Structure 1
Amino acid sequence: MSPRPHKKRKARRILATAAGLATVGALVAALPAMAGQDKGNGHQKPNTVDVQLLSFNDLHGNLEAPTGSAANVTEKLADGTTKTSPAGGIEYLATSLRNARKGNEYSITAAGGDMVGASPLLSGLFHDEPTIEALNKIDLDVTTVGNHEFDEGATELARLQNGGCHPTEGCYQKGRKFQGADFPYLAANVTSEKTGKPVLKPYTVWKKNGVKIGFIGVTLEGTPNVVTAEGVKGLKFHDEIETVNKYAKELDRQGVKSIVALIHEGGAPASTAYNYDCDSPGAGDGISGPIVDIAKGISPKVDALVTGHTHQAYACTIPDPSGNPRLVTSASSFGKLYTDTTLTYDRRTNDIVRTSVKSANHIVSRDQAKAKDMTTLIEDWNKLAAPIAGAPQGFISADINGRGATTEETPLGDVIADAQLAGTAPADKGGAQIAFMNPGGIRADLVYTASGKEGDGVVTYGEAFTVQPFTNMMNVLDLTGAQLITALQQQVSGPNAATPKYLQVSNGFTYTLDLRKTGADRVLTDSVKLNGEAIDPAKTYRVAMNEFLGGGGDGFTVFAQGKNKLVGPSDLDLFNAYLAANSSAQAPLAPPAANRITILK
């Protein structure tokens, strides 16, 4: 690929940047005194203009079209039935966005975080440089950070923003330096412990012909709970509501009355259909989750919220603190949907006419033409990745579902836990007796149908990497039986009470989960057994898990109390070794029964 000019944008691009820049005041002061007059030709402008806001979230470096259940979008049809179809892929997302912009003089493209991180091999192998380049090409104007932007730490995030070759792996293409993002990443509620200042710009202002719209970007305050300790080292994450309200006041003082908050936190609509009406029977009645309380607490100065994190699709109007409906949107994940919102801008007040705001999610259909520049970008990076990506690791007899499974215990979760136990059970590898896998770390399914030329049932390195892209190092710890039971209870209590996180368990570990009960009582403690023998609360067990869980991630604080820690190979290495040892072309690995956890409903 040839280098492209850096940070040269069209007239519609963002002109003003973050707080504290002296140019902001000068630009505001230079605006025409008569908002209704076009200074260039003397013609009278209309009192209102429609500004198109295109948005998406949680791309996670999915440049190639996602496969398996992760690719599916559910649509509710007019007759009440539903239709499921595959969608997404940067080649189609680029086409969708470019077509949507046609005929719109005022168009902004914004994102709700997690553009990178937990990425398939095509992007993850190159520390997500391919995804940043793709986002540059599709003319992304602004995004907030998500929790996954911190997977490799603040220094690496700064490199993605500012450019430069990777500090240890160097430049991936000879004579070609990575240019970084030519759109701003916003991180209003992420500050340095040393300086107390945001690690990236807290907000930015988009301007065109006197129209000014401010964007404030925040990630979830609980980011340290879902990222490794190393990734958030030296950082503080602050309350989303307080932060957005603080900078909304600051923008208002600068004369920016139209404000959009980009928030990497989300909710759960009552239906998984992308076109479900979450304002039925009343405004915001069809959605639940953290974003509801956040939306109700954010200042009325903010006119719309673009959200993410939960990988759900919705376009709701949740009342603001004044009781007035305000738009809150999310566009699923992996580039399968985009949101098209119309913001009616009043030139007299410089504010959005909330009663005129319209929004809808649209499928990124694969029935449309691919964007040629995206195809070229994918082909170029695939050439570099091919020697690694296509290497066979093992064989499967059918789909083994993980991310796409609908059960608490998943077949792929069992396989991964078994792989971790197998790799850490030898005495010199840790002597593990049990292995736990966090469900959020399973990023895809193992799909039987070939993704390339490898043949059906062949698991390639690229496919295994897509399932476990974090390459977390394994930990083996001493935990008492009482601590093991506490860990099981933490799946369904404390911070996980509203949205349980079910640990995937290795072969031989069994227990019963009664979902008819509430909180910690859902775990029937007398049912917890290892190889048929009841867990002894006073006994010490050797337990394997990835370093994220070992540090207390996902609310499993008891794991951080483990003793005699041994650090082993990466989870991906153990996964690939297990596939190689337990499958062949003649005897492929079959999906396990996923019957280690008995569920009572």
Structure 2
Amino acid sequence: MNSQINRSLPLLLASFLAACAAQPAPDRLTPQAQRTPVQVGVIAINDFHGALEPPKQAVNIKNPDGSVTGVPAGGGAWLASAIDELKAKHPNNVVVAAGDLTSASQLASSLYLDEPAVGVMNRIGLEFNAVGNHEFDRGWNELLRLQNGGCEKNTRRQPCRLEQFAGADYKYLSASTLKDDGSTLLPATGVKTFDTAAGKITLGFIGLSLRTVPALVSPDALKGLSFADEADTINALVPRLRAEGADAVVVLIHQGGKTEALDDPNGCEGLSGDIVPILQRLKPGVDVVVSGHTHWAYTCEYPSAGAAQPILLTSAGVYGKLVTDITLSFDPATHAVIGKKAQNIIVQSEPYTATRGRIENTDRVPQFAPKPEVAAYVKRYADNVAGEISRPAGRLSGPAPKTDGSDSWTGGPLAQLIADSQLGATRDIGAQIAFTNPFGVRTSLMPAPNGAVTFGQLYAVQPFNNELVVQSMTGAQIKAVIEEGLDDEDVQQVLTPSANLRFSFDMRRPSGARVVSLTLDGKPLHPRATYRVTTNNFLSEGGDFFSEFTRATNKVRGGLDIDALEAWLTAVPMRKVPDEKRAVQIGGN
């Protein structure tokens, strides 16, 4: 062994000298190069959710007079052009994402198992993506197919329907997603090295999901996987990346926060949410955290204990409506990070008509032209499902809005409509009550002037293809599951009931004892009586932290949630949008 090592020394020395000669020492740099910081651009997105076409949503910006202008934004071809402009701005660049690029997608992507969403990401030049919770929706074997390509059938839908699927050119990173043998499902880290005037500068990337994926995805999709603590995982990997030569460390994490800056995509006032305790526990060594999950937009400087500079925290909202332009500046001699900044760029696309009127383009921010190559690719998939998207699917008496902002946890008319449809679809197998989860409602349902809605619109509201489940629960269990949504343990969410069930609650009361009244058809639920309750299978399996549903008995599967909603709307000439209060909050928070 020793003789083999000795014989290798001349070769090792020669390799070392060659490597040194390949990179000019700092003192050999020109005087200008010695003074000029080296810049690297990190171009970041998150929560694309297969938004191939413009999602017909706006990004709000404040005007000098205090009013708000809505900017039409998003769409894969426009996002590609915006990223191309940022690449041109940053000769040293890398494109990254913080998860949920697929699932909960537009119909043109979802019907093809999000193969076209991956195709769009390939065409914009994405290099690294953290695995989000929605990437597990169809099971981890299907996630591996998205990475590696192929036509293996892992779901009800047939893959490779339009073309042979080659897989993602970018790398999924899953540092905290562990298999039974302790290995990660996908690589934990990645690196990219740039040849600059000051020599090679290397960025290290850590990609990971949020620890609570098991509460957000059906258990069957996660068999054989566990999810480690986010901060512990990051802290363990940072020294490893630094030892491998990383001059800066960028964390891509599918967890995020919210701010009080509702009309400022770059605001950070009042930052809160589950990303905050993770940031508080990070040891020095992390330079940037690209986050997601909450669909919020922000750029923040978050103090880092023991570090000379704060952590740069970013999120680009949702659906490709924004892209984050991050600039890292390096000392040309030491390669230390000496500056970092970020700005969310609005991907202004094409005008559209909303319930409040026409959302036009504005010269307040740049407008992008769709990139022809990506536009043609998206059009091929969109044209193939055009008939299904435009198929009539009933009529509504008016808009059925999805609650947003501070009211997003409470449900609203659309969630009530969904709960009613699910009860209607399962009464013939004994259902008496139905509940739906407001966070599972993805977008508002806005009919045409004559009330008409299309299947494409329904699919945008409920893109998960969840099955309905009818199960037996006692009155005490029903009260307990409503309390789970109101308690202080996890994310608060008021379960939305069908029209025949009403309850009131008081958030001033102790956690676990906030339900004040609970009635079915005007009569109090008896704690020991048994009732048949419909939910989607996600809730039935304990999703969104509603574990009481897992203790229900005599579970019977029904049809799909999307089919139930369509049947409910088409059963009458014009379905009235619910407008009554079913879950009433007493007093203040």
**C-alpha contact (below 8 Å) 2:266/2:343 kept by paired residues:** no
Deviation at 1:98, TM superposition (A): 1.4
| AA aligned opposite 2:243 | R
2:532 maps to 1:542: yes
- Could you say which residue in structure 1 is the equivalent of 2:382? 382
**CA distance in 2 between partners of 1:29 and 1:416 (Å):** 67
Number of the residue aligned with 1:48: 37
Provide closer, same or farther for how the CA distance between residues 104 and 170 of structure 1 changes in structure 2, counting only shifts above 3 A. Answer: closer
Partner-residue secondary structure (3-state), 2:329 = strand
Partner residue in 2 for 1:182:
169
Residue 409 of structure 1 aligns with an amino acid whose one-letter code is G
Deviation larger for 402-411 or 370-379: 402-411
* 1:283 counterpart residue number: none
- In the TM superposition, what whole-angstrom CA distance separates every residue of 1:25-65 from its partner, at most 9, and x where no partner exists? x99994745454899x9996766311111111111111111
Alignment of 1:349-368 (within 5 A): 349-353=334-338, 356-366=339-349, 367=361, 368=367
- What SS is found at the alignment partner of 1:357? strand
Offset at 1:390?
2.4
Instruction: Give the aligned partner of residue 330 of structure 2.
Output: 345
Deviations 1:231-274 (A, max 9, x none): 21111111101111111111111121311000110111122123
Query: Pick from 47, 72, 82: which aligns with 2:58?
Result: 72
* Residue 67 (structure 2) pairs with residue 97 (structure 1): no
Partner residue in 2 for 1:418: 420
Q: How does 1:489-504 map to 2 (within 5 A)?
A: 489-496=483-490, 499-504=491-496
Match of 1:293 among 248, 254, 277: 277
1-side partners of 2:457 and 2:37: how far apart?
50
Equivalent residue number for residue 326 of structure 1? 311
Q: Aligned in 2, Cα 1:309/1:567: closer, same or farther, shift over 3 Å?
A: same
* Counterpart selection for 1:118 from 76, 95, 104: 104
Which string of whole-angstrom CA distances, capped at 9 and with x for unpartnered residues, describes residues 104-132 of structure 1? 21122111110111112111110000100
* 1:62 has 2:45 as partner: no
Q: 1:376 to 1:457 in 2, by over 3 A?
A: farther
Alpha carbons of 1:376 and 1:594: their partners in 2 closer, same or farther (altered >3 Å)? farther
Equivalent residue in structure 2 for 1:216, among 199, 206, 212: 206
Distance 1:592 1:319 in 2: 46
Code of the residue aligned with 2:272 in structure 1: it is S
Q: 1:308 is matched with which residue?
A: 292
Aligned AA (1:295): L
Q: Mark the CA change 1:269 to 1:170 in structure 2 (over 3 Å): closer, same or farther.
A: closer
* 1:61-109, Cα deviation, whole Å (9 max, x unpaired): 1111113xxx132223334443333321212211211122223211221
Hey, what's the Cα distance between the residues in 2 that align with 1:81 and 1:371?
32
Q: Distance in 1 between matches of 2:450 and 2:78?
A: 25
% identical equivalent positions:
36
Distance apart, 1:495 and its partner CA: 3.1
Change (3 A) 1:153 1:351: farther
* 2:138 corresponds to 1:152: yes
Residue 395 (structure 1) aligned with residue 395 (structure 2)? yes
Structure 2 SS opposite 1:160: helix
Structure 2 equivalent of residue 481 of structure 1: 475
Equivalent residue, structure 2, for 1:6: none
Tell me what 1:251 maps to: 241
Q: Which runs of 5+ in 1 are unaligned?
A: 1-25, 281-285, 450-454
Of stretches 206-215 and 86-95 in structure 1, the one that deviates more from structure 2 is 86-95
For 1:514, the equivalent position in structure 2 comes to: 506
The letter for the 2-side match of 1:552 is G
Deviating more after overlay: 203-212 vs 43-52: 43-52
The answer on whether the counterparts of 2:54 and 2:75 sit within 8 Å (CA) in structure 1 is yes
Counterparts of 1:118 and 1:157, CA distance in 2: 14
User: Is the contact made by 1:414 and 1:594 (CA closer than 8 Å) also made in structure 2?
Assistant: no
Give the C-alpha shift of residue 438 in structure 1.
Answer: 1.2
Q: Take 2:27 and 2:348, find their aligned partners in 1: how far apart are those partners?
A: 41
Which secondary structure state, in structure 2, belongs to the residue aligned with residue 412 of structure 1? helix
Contact 1:475 1:547 in 2 (8 A): yes
**Rounded Cα–Cα distance in structure 1 between residues aligned with 2:512 and 2:66:** 38
Mapped to 1, the partners of 2:579 and 2:24 lie a distance apart of 71
Report the 3-state secondary structure (helix = DSSP H, G, I; strand = E; otherwise coil) of the residue aligned with 2:571.
helix
* Cα distance in 1 for residues equivalent to 2:461 and 2:265: 28
The one-letter code matched in structure 1 to 2:323 is Y
Give the number of the structure whose alpha-carbon radius of gyration is greater.
Answer: 2
Task: Please give the alpha-carbon distance, in whole angstroms, between the structure 2 residues aligned to 1:259 and 1:441.
Answer: 34
- Over 3 Å counting, the alpha-carbon distance change for 1:423 and 1:34 in structure 2 is same
Deviation at 1:494?
Answer: 4.4
| One-letter code aligned to 1:91 | A
| Runs of at least 4 residues off by over 6 Å | 26-29
Work out the CA distance in 2 between the residues paired with 1:216 and 1:257: 14
When structure 1 is superposed on structure 2, of 297-306 and 79-88 the one drifting more is 79-88
> What amino acid sits opposite 1:336 in the alignment?
K
- Following superposition, the deviation at residue 392 of structure 1 comes to 1.5
**Secondary structure in 2 matching 1:230:** helix
Distance 1:166 1:544, change over 3 A: same
Distance 1:403 1:172 in 2: 36
Residue identity opposite 1:435 in structure 2 = A
Q: Match for 2:581: what amino acid?
A: N
TM-score (normalizing by structure 1): 0.86
Q: Distance in 2 between matches of 1:331 and 1:388?
A: 31
Q: Deviations over 1:185-216 (max 9, x none)?
A: 110100112x2111111111011201210110
CA drift of 1:518 comes to 5.0
For structure 1, which segment, 294-303 or 558-567, has the greater mean C-alpha deviation from structure 2 after superposition?
294-303
In structure 2, C-alpha distance between the alignment counterparts of 1:77 and 1:468, rounded to whole Å? 34
Distance 1:170 1:260, change over 3 A: closer
Matched-pair contact (CA < 8 Å) for 1:64–1:89? yes
Aligned equivalent of 1:197: 183
Using the TM superposition, name which of 308-317 and 392-401 deviates more: 392-401
SS at match of 1:271: coil
Equivalenced residues, count: 545
CA distance 1:162–1:38, shift in 2 (3 Å): farther
- Whole-Å Cα distance in 2 between the matches of residues 403 and 182 of structure 1? 37
